[in-house]
Structure 1
Amino acid sequence: MHAPLLVFLGLDGLPWSLAQNLCAQGLLPNLAAVAGSPGCRAIRAELPELSPVNWTSLFTASSPGEHGVFGFTRLDPQSYELQFTDFTHVHGATIFERLADKGLFAKALNMPNLAPVRPMRAMLVAGFPAQDLRTSVHPPALAGILTDHEYTIEADTVRGATDPGFLLEDLHRSLACRERALDLLWPDMAWDAFFFVLTETDRLGHFLFPALVEPYHPWRSEALRFMAAWDRLIGKFFERYHDLPGPKRLLIMADHGFTTLTQEVDLNAWLRDQGLLHLSRQPTSEWDTQAMAPSTRAFALDPGRIYLHTKGRFAHGGLSAAEADQLGQNLVRALSGLTHNGRKIIRHAHLGREIYHGSQAHLAPDLVLVPEPGFDLKGKFGRTGMFGHFGRQGMHTADDVFFYDSMGSSARTPTEVGQTILDHFDIPATTFGA
């Protein structure tokens, strides 16, 4: 006997508190249908609180120490080249493959960090940071069908970063793409689990989050007009869910929260000032990690990841294990005391070995910093100052993450939500090493 149908709605970057606030004002009538229910509550993100980390934790039902994704980027320890993380870096089986092993079929639409897709018994449309539909869908014929329907993977946030009017217009277009794809992939009902992720709230949050929380913000009416369109699509999705035969289950999850950005804080500028980061030449860009000199003792990568330049891990590293251990402890103390205009910057400074466990924990950062709200931690190369503004108005938070389960599970993180999905289909805990 088959388990009840499972429907999953992903709402990238939606804070639970913002959703509750907008619903209470009557601005999101469709989301309000679940937002006020007992099954709706805040959970917390896996660290670092980034989309690839948390969506991967969901779709592998495993923590970062097991799946090996710790950010949008990773440093090659031999060449020191900065690489962008994608699905080829994900260790372990996906939920979709685990379902297929049991004879069940899943569809996933706009799932982040799933490209380049690998063939499996599932229908997949990968989301950001995928670039090319040909490598982002399975089965391959789906690429042509989606192209015919003018489907694009992502809104243009490069131009949108400096042009709010264009950003909102392109988010409306992106949302319409998601709706057309939903209309294409849902109706045949040849699935046991359906995953649908909307990433538009994250893009809006990065560049216009204050418009969602400040009543007199100049872009508020347009931002709320977009949110109304987003809520209408959620309403349509709920209608499709309600029309399904029972028994059935609805899960809704954000991957992280959001808040207004006060200052970007460049950790590498601080490490340089402390004499811990040295450059052998002027970086060609903010991502030019190859400009690091062998004498470097510690460096940071976005968002709040600090790596100790150890002999065993990096080709040019000079720190012994004992030196790294001492430096790590010193950094936790020093960073915990950082302030800006009298405000504390770092809420928690975690040692990587204390929070990551599993077959890929050796890839983890040595320190993971969780900032106080408003301080967006960065690890750039070549910035002159530690503080600044660079176009973004909103930042991720590790807490205040929207979650709803029609069956009221006790999941606390995206990893546990993934495990809840496996439990729903009576699939044992994931095995790793694939």
Structure 2
Amino acid sequence: MKNDEKEKNLMKTTVLGLDGADWKILNSLLEQGELPMLQKLMENGSHGVLNSTVPPNSPPAWASMITGVNPGKHNIFDFTCIDTSYDKVPIDAMSRISALPLWRIMNRFKMTTGIVNLPIHFPPEPVDGFMICGLVTPWSAEIYTHPPEISPKIGNPGEQWLIGKTLVNGGSPEAFLEEIKQKTRIQADWIIRLQNEYQPDFLFAVFDGTDKIQHFFWKYWDKTHPRHPKRTSKILMESISAYYRYIDSCLAEIIATRPESNFFIVSDHGFTGLSKDVYIENWLRQKGYLHLKETPVTSAETRYERMGHSLWNKLAASQGLKTALKNNPISRSLISTFKERLNEKRKKARLNQNVDWSQTRVFFAGVSSQSLQVNLKGRESLGCVEADQYNELVREVLSQVRGIIDPETGKPVLQAAYEKSEIYHGPWSQNSPDLVLIPENGYSLQEGFPDELVTPSFLYGMDRSGGHCPEGIFIACGPNIRRNPSMMNAQITDITPTVLYLNKLPIPDYVDGSVLTDLVDETYLASNPLEITDQITLSQSKSVEMTPEEKELLENHLRALGYF
């Protein structure tokens, strides 16, 4: 079907993402009548659990949501990947992505689009409409929007758009909360401003404050968390609930500007309590899968890293002590200097400099992807595992890793472990990590070699008490959405085909997801037959490429955020 032959649908579609939003929190507030906008959408539409990718990691999850396919087809597995020389390099997601995102399909059919704050998006691409990039945007980027003239109007992205600078710079929890609220207000204002100016047929906007606040403030909301404080300030104790109430009011403002629209409220994954880090590299070394070079430099790096872990664990355990130290100008300067030295040590202690690759058979692929990689001969530059040994080694490691026990509880730290062929399919499956590990609730896999295999969880010197779980949310409401009070069950890949169908657009035949017909109005279903097309194909898009300068900015940015 030619683009100009497609009748343009007059009904608009709005997808509003709440990164990491979880039904546990929503339900507790809905029961008290504290989320009136979301309550109204649910009462007049449909809702349910939106199951994430495996693992429930934001880059592959958002990519699956906007393409309708599993990571083996869209080729996005993490924020970073490890190249054949064992260097961790940033993913240029929007040039790497191998399935057309929703807005590119819509632009093909002459529909206008507005894309705002998608976490995997940078640099901006020319669209028929507008775009503001999200999480991976370098804080110092001069142009992070389309049209480009929007960027200077918003201002420096690190100061005026992206959440996280207070956290990375060692600010107090209260200051971080204030930054989250301020940036959320800025994001909502720009969504409304651009929506009113452009009136796009399709609006896709993400708020990532939900993810940030739950990572570091979950223990205050969850009374069952091992580190839930008995006494603390009301601001901290109410932080998550207050933010959800604030987001509800922001959603109401945006929704009011698009009265003739079908609305979807979605999250890329859910959240759960996190209390412990598992140093999987330690386990790999103990089992003989990973070998380190025995050099004085390595020993010094390891001692320095252990000292850093010990210091920050003690500070994380005593919020009052940490606050007091930061309020003292002398101790604040010492802490800042120490953190800079520690970061420099960690930069020098790169994986490829400390590992004896001639003897290492398996290594940790990354904190974000929670996965292991085989050091395969012919694929990795110093690979030592022969191709005919690969399958046997993978089965052996899977059997062994499932038996990792928390010494404190005597229980397994992993919920599941998979080889990649069990969860990914498609032309890019070979780019995925070899083994994907799913920790039990409460655990996260970390890199490094402290004395203990399992330690309290932390990041940036703050107590990291919340982590991802697969069960996200979706709420749908609008003229073409039926009222369905029952809790539905959907896959994250179902969003793209459902949105395309509601816009009377053909669905690519490679899509893994299905149209959620149980939430579509019966009259619309009866008068609009499903259309599948083979005219839209999987292909690695190169419509937007990073310059070398942008790649360097992105790497430095992801390093600051802790992905390197």
Equivalent residue letter for 2:537: T
- Inter-CA distance 165–121: structure 2 relative to 1 (3 Å threshold): same
**1:141, distance to aligned residue in structure 2 (A):** 1.1
SS in 1 for 2:76: coil
Decide which of 45, 54, 60 is 1:47's aligned counterpart: 54
SS in 2 for 1:343: coil
User: For the residues of structure 2 that align with 1:18 and 1:415, how far apart are their CA atoms?
Assistant: 24
| 47-56 or 287-296: bigger deviation | 287-296
Contact 1:259–1:373 (Cα < 8 Å) also in 2: yes
- Inter-CA distance 373–160: structure 2 relative to 1 (3 Å threshold): farther
- Inter-CA distance 36–396: structure 2 relative to 1 (3 Å threshold): farther
SS in 2 for 1:130: coil
Note if 1:386 corresponds to 2:400.
no
Decide which of 246, 257, 273 is 1:260's aligned counterpart: 273
- Inter-CA distance 236–128: structure 2 relative to 1 (3 Å threshold): closer
Equivalent residue letter for 1:63: N
Aligned to 1:431: 537
Aligned to 2:167: 158
Q: Give a deviation string over 1:189-244, Cα, whole Å, max 9, x none.
A: 53111112110011111111111223956255445356435534433433542553
Equivalent residue letter for 2:404: L
Contact 1:109–1:195 (Cα < 8 Å) also in 2: yes
Contact 1:117–1:136 (Cα < 8 Å) also in 2: yes
User: For the residues of structure 2 that align with 1:50 and 1:175, how far apart are their CA atoms?
Assistant: 22
Decide which of 473, 479, 483 is 1:402's aligned counterpart: 473
| 381-390 or 260-269: bigger deviation | 381-390
Structure with greater Cα Rg: 2
Note if 1:251 corresponds to 2:253.
no
- Inter-CA distance 228–16: structure 2 relative to 1 (3 Å threshold): same
Decide which of 117, 124, 131 is 2:124's aligned counterpart: 117
User: For the residues of structure 2 that align with 1:134 and 1:61, how far apart are their CA atoms?
Assistant: 32
| 193-202 or 117-126: bigger deviation | 117-126
Note if 1:347 corresponds to 2:415.
yes
User: For the residues of structure 1 that align with 2:166 and 2:399, how far apart are their CA atoms?
Assistant: 37
**1:102, distance to aligned residue in structure 2 (A):** 0.5
SS in 2 for 1:186: helix
Counterparts of 1:262-301 in structure 2, within 5 Å, are 262-280=275-293, 282=298, 284-285=345-346, 288-291=350-353, 292-294=355-357, 295-300=359-364, 301=366
Decide which of 206, 217, 232 is 1:218's aligned counterpart: 232
- How many residues are matched? 431
**1:388, distance to aligned residue in structure 2 (A):** 1.6
**1:35, distance to aligned residue in structure 2 (A):** 5.1
Aligned to 1:64: 71
Contact 2:413–2:443 (Cα < 8 Å) also in 1: yes
User: For the residues of structure 2 that align with 1:17 and 1:328, how far apart are their CA atoms?
Assistant: 36
User: For the residues of structure 2 that align with 1:55 and 1:229, how far apart are their CA atoms?
Assistant: 22
| 256-265 or 220-229: bigger deviation | 220-229
**1:394, distance to aligned residue in structure 2 (A):** 2.9
Decide which of 375, 386, 396 is 1:330's aligned counterpart: 396
SS in 2 for 1:285: helix
**1:34, distance to aligned residue in structure 2 (A):** 3.5
Percent identical residues: 23
Aligned to 1:419: 497
Q: Give a deviation string over 1:25-77, Cα, whole Å, max 9, x none.
A: 34433333345676221122112212122112222332211121212221011
Contact 2:125–2:131 (Cα < 8 Å) also in 1: no
User: For the residues of structure 2 that align with 1:12 and 1:109, how far apart are their CA atoms?
Assistant: 13
Contact 2:103–2:113 (Cα < 8 Å) also in 1: yes
Aligned to 1:310: 376
Aligned to 2:145: 137
Aligned to 2:429: 361
| 393-402 or 271-280: bigger deviation | 393-402
Task: In structure 2, list runs of 5 or more residues that go unmatched.
Answer: 1-6, 302-344, 509-535, 541-564
User: For the residues of structure 1 that align with 2:42 and 2:239, how far apart are their CA atoms?
Assistant: 20
Q: Please, what TM-score do these two structures have when normalized by structure 1?
A: 0.91
Equivalent residue letter for 1:113: I
Q: Please, what TM-score do these two structures have when normalized by structure 2?
A: 0.71
User: For the residues of structure 2 that align with 1:133 and 1:257, how far apart are their CA atoms?
Assistant: 30
Note if 1:169 corresponds to 2:178.
yes
User: For the residues of structure 1 that align with 2:166 and 2:402, how far apart are their CA atoms?
Assistant: 33
| 227-236 or 415-424: bigger deviation | 227-236
Counterparts of 1:190-205 in structure 2, within 5 Å, are 190-205=199-214
Contact 1:105–1:192 (Cα < 8 Å) also in 2: yes
- Inter-CA distance 241–2: structure 2 relative to 1 (3 Å threshold): farther
Q: Give a deviation string over 1:224-274, Cα, whole Å, max 9, x none.
A: 35643553443343354255343x211111111111112111211110111
Q: Give a deviation string over 1:80-102, Cα, whole Å, max 9, x none.
A: 21112232433332211111101
SS in 1 for 2:160: coil
Equivalent residue letter for 1:134: E
- Inter-CA distance 316–51: structure 2 relative to 1 (3 Å threshold): same
SS in 2 for 1:231: helix
- Inter-CA distance 123–243: structure 2 relative to 1 (3 Å threshold): closer
SS in 1 for 2:292: coil
- Inter-CA distance 398–159: structure 2 relative to 1 (3 Å threshold): closer
SS in 2 for 1:404: strand
Q: Give a deviation string over 1:84-129, Cα, whole Å, max 9, x none.
A: 2232433332211111101011101111111012323341111102
**1:428, distance to aligned residue in structure 2 (A):** 2.2
- Inter-CA distance 346–161: structure 2 relative to 1 (3 Å threshold): farther
**1:400, distance to aligned residue in structure 2 (A):** 2.4
Contact 1:256–1:400 (Cα < 8 Å) also in 2: yes
**1:405, distance to aligned residue in structure 2 (A):** 2.0
- Inter-CA distance 112–352: structure 2 relative to 1 (3 Å threshold): same
**Higher normalized helix content (fraction of residues):** 2
- Inter-CA distance 306–225: structure 2 relative to 1 (3 Å threshold): closer
